[in-house]
């Protein structure tokens, strides 16, 4: 039966082979001396040759043990270097030169393991801090949204008091809606005096609410222009995009002229792509031609 040697036993085998080579060398050296004595005083091998052979044998043994130590560490069988140190200590009666490198290696491995533990702890702490920061941020945002919703409700409530039961000015969801005919002539984006008079109550209500909104709430009044789906193409407007955007800009410019801060206003054009009524016919077209105001966050 053939027994396969493990890495530790292979190292023993190398040491045995080295010792066998040393013994063989000694035998050859003794034989040479005997032959020299019997041969009438032949010259013996120089002492330097004997020392060189012994040194080479020791170097080979050191290399073999070092290779084994590296193999064990790479496999991860001995991450702290304990087994390697014990093995070398058991064999190291004649090889004391190995002890210091192995001890240094074991110390380095221990330092690396400690550093990894510290890094893992820091990562866990940072992940906890990030999760806590996310929760606090979400809570703060939710609070600001609720505050703005309260002021929006107050703004719309004030507008309801102003407009009464008019059918051409109404509140739809979270938006205050003017029919385009209230502000603009067909195919036009110019605000006349009558249109400006219709906007003045909205400006008054907005100024009143703006004084109550806390400065840390980053609010804007968005002015959206909408058209019906019938295309327009003339010298002034190439399409419904230009017409809807130009109407929204006209309203914003008038509001700025009346004292609303420009950084609190947004003008947007939606052409005919956000209809309130998808049916055909003049009544649907009239509902879809509109200017909307929405108090929202930036």
CATH class of segment(s) 147-297: alpha beta
Q: Give the span between the Cα atoms of 237 and 218, in whole angstroms.
A: 34
In whole angstroms, how far apart are CA 119 and each of 81, 109, 112?
22, 15, 10
In whole angstroms, how far apart are CA 91 and each of 2, 18, 53, 115, 261?
25, 13, 21, 32, 87
Q: Give the span between the Cα atoms of 141 and 143, in whole angstroms.
A: 5
Chain segment 103-119, per-residue pLDDT in tens: 777 787 788 878 888 88
What integer pLDDT is reported at residue 288 of this predicted model? 95
Domain ranges of the chain: 7-35+45-114, 147-297
What integer pLDDT is reported at residue 36 of this predicted model? 44
Per DSSP, 295 falls in state E
How many C-beta neighbours within 10 Å does residue 165 have?
A: 7
What integer pLDDT is reported at residue 298 of this predicted model? 82
What integer pLDDT is reported at residue 131 of this predicted model? 86
What integer pLDDT is reported at residue 18 of this predicted model? 41
Nearest to 159 by CA among 58, 28, 272, 292: 292
CB 245 within 8 A of CB 238: no
Residue 18: Cβ-neighbour burial (10 angstroms; 0-12, 13-18, 19+): buried
- Axis-axis angle for helices 47-75, 7-38 (nearest 10): 170
Both tokens assigned to 133: 């920061």
What integer pLDDT is reported at residue 113 of this predicted model? 79
Chain segment 224-279, per-residue pLDDT in tens: 999 999 999 888 999 999 999 999 999 999 999 999 999 999 999 999 999 999 99
What integer pLDDT is reported at residue 33 of this predicted model? 46
Residues in the chain predicted with pLDDT less than 50, given as ranges, are 1-25, 27-44, 93-95
**pTM for this prediction:** 0.54
Q: Give the span between the Cα atoms of 1 and 158, in whole angstroms.
A: 101
């Amino acid at each position: 039966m053939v027994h396969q040697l493990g890495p530790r036993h292979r190292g023993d085998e190398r040491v045995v082979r080295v010792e066998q080579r040393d013994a063989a060398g000694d035998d050859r050296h003794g034989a040479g001396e005997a032959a020299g004595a019997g041969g009438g005083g032949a010259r013996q091998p120089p002492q330097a040759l004997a020392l060189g052979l012994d040194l080479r044998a020791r170097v080979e043994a050191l290399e073999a043990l070092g290779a084994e130590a590296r193999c064990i560490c790479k496999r991860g069988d001995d991450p702290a270097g304990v087994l390697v140190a014990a093995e070398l200590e058991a064999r190291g009666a004649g090889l004391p030169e190995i002890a210091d490198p192995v001890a240094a290696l074991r110390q380095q491995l221990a330092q690396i393991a400690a550093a990894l533990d510290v890094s893992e702890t820091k990562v866990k702490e940072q992940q906890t801090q990030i999760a806590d920061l996310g929760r606090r941020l979400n809570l703060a945002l939710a609070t600001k949204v609720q505050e703005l919703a309260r002021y929006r409700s107050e703004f719309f409530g004030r507008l309801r008091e102003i407009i009464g039961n008019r059918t051409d000015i109404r509140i739809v969801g979270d938006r205050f809606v003017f029919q385009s005919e209230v502000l603009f002539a067909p195919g036009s984006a110019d605000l006349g005096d009558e249109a400006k008079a219709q906007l003045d109550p909205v400006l008054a209500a907005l100024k009143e609410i703006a004084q109550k909104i806390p400065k840390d709430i980053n609010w804007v009044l968005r002015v959206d222009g909408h058209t019906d789906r019938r295309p327009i193409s003339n010298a002034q407007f190439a399409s419904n995009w230009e017409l809807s955007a130009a109407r929204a800009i006209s309203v914003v410019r008038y509001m700025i002229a009346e004292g609303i801060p420009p950084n609190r206003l947004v003008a947007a054009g939606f052409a005919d792509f956000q209809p309130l009524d998808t049916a055909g016919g003049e009544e649907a077209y009239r509902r879809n031609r509109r200017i909307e105001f929405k108090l929202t966050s930036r």
